[in-house]
Amino acid sequence: MPRPQSRPFRQGASQFSFQENLVFEKTYYATHPDMMDGVSNEELRDRYLVGGLFRDGEIVLTYSHGERFIIGGAVPGASILPLPVQTEPDSAAGHSLLERRELSVVNIGRAVGVVTVDGERHELASRDALYVPMGSGTVTFEGEGARFYLLSVPAHRAFPLRRLTLADATPMERGSLETSNARQIYQLILPHVCQSASLCLGMTILEPGSVWNTMPPHVHERRSEIYLYFDLEGDDRVFHYMGKPEALRHIVMENEEAVISPPWSVHMGSGTRAYSFIWAMAGENLDYNDMDVKDICQLR
Ligand SMILES: O=C[C@H](O)[C@@H](O)CC(=O)C(=O)O
Ligand SMILES: [Zn+2]
């Protein structure tokens, strides 16, 4: 079967992406904590920052070797965008991308969007999420003004498809305005809300005037995590901290950019204004509390 025309790597694609992949725009390799020593800002961004996911009329997928996360975005505009099928290896070519994977979709746009899974239409209002099980076939995205954030990880079992809304979730109130970290943590894909094989996902919304997230920070050796920052204005930035707690580094992030947190890294940030972020994890278990919280005085 003829292979689809491959896409050239966009500017700024990793210097380490030596193997061109037909479905994924960029591959993020797993990294060793020693690789933080003396790393330049550009290398740091190349290894962990996932930008350019939301391009008008396109679906953009990237691949991380950490938990084999697919991290992507779909902005349909006037078109209907299909989730691509697998192209490699030959034994999988033409099969659904979700043959052995589960998928989450969150509409971070302001308008309603529609995700159609095997012919069934699911309307996602702004901030709604959809859990799409392993074994699903065709998935398409549509809706002018909708912006879909996509995450997928390997699964061993199919759980029911679910639409999840913030209104149905009971947020955890954390932090305070006095410490500039008052925020609501919405758990959306976790066992007590929505079953999944490996994926956990939620949304955290900071109160106006609060800028710090996940402070004090934590690490979780048994899971990787992906943060997507959004609800920022044009010139606003989040200063995202990563690395081992005693050797922090930061990445300056813009609206609608994601960042990979390896299992050995903290993940926390401070913004130039309040913002929201979607956090997603996968790995050894689905226990949200399987984390090792650090004291602020342990940070260096
Ligand atoms: O492992 C869990 C994740 O880092 C997030 O849930 C943290 C978070 O949303 C927050 O503190 O605001
Ligand atoms: Zn975490």
Q: Average pLDDT of 183-203?
A: 98
Pairing of strands 58-64, 27-28: parallel
CB 284: neighbour CB atoms within 10 A? 13
Express each pLDDT in 222-236 by its tens digit.
999 999 999 999 999
Q: Kindly give the distance from the C-alpha atom of residue 226 to the centroid of ligand 2, in angstroms, as a whole number.
A: 9
Classify domain 166-298 by CATH architecture. Answer: Sandwich (2.60)
Q: Kindly give the distance from the C-alpha atom of residue 24 to the centroid of ligand 1, in angstroms, as a whole number.
A: 27
Q: How far apart are CA 29 and CA 17, in angstroms?
A: 9
185 touches ligand 1 (CB under 6 Å): yes
Which ligand 1 atom lies nearest to the CA of residue 223?
1
166-298 shares the fold of 27-164: yes
213 touches ligand 1 (CB under 6 Å): yes
The protein residue whose alpha carbon is closest to atom 7 in ligand 1 is 214
223 touches ligand 1 (CB under 6 Å): no
Q: Give me the CATH code for the 27-164 domain, please.
A: 2.60.120.10
CB 101: neighbour CB atoms within 10 A? 22
ipTM of this complex prediction, to 2 decimal places: 0.99
Residue of 76, 46, 73, 75 lying closest to 60 (CA atoms): 73
Confidence of residue 20 (pLDDT cuts 50, 70, 90): low
204 touches ligand 1 (CB under 6 Å): yes
pLDDT score recorded for residue 21: 74
The protein residue whose alpha carbon is closest to atom 10 in ligand 1 is 214
The protein residue whose alpha carbon is closest to atom 11 in ligand 1 is 214
Q: How far apart are CA 75 and CA 131, in angstroms?
A: 18
- Residues contacting 246, CB < 8 A, separation 6+: 298, 299, 300
User: What pTM does this model have?
Assistant: 0.94
Domain residue spans of the chain: 27-164, 166-298
Express each pLDDT in 134-184 by its tens digit.
999 999 999 999 999 999 999 999 999 999 999 989 999 999 999 999 999
Q: How far apart are CA 43 and CA 51, in angstroms?
A: 14
The protein residue whose alpha carbon is closest to atom 5 in ligand 1 is 279
93 within 8 A of 1, measured Cβ to Cβ:
yes
pLDDT above 90 covers what percent of the chain? 92
189 touches ligand 1 (CB under 6 Å): no
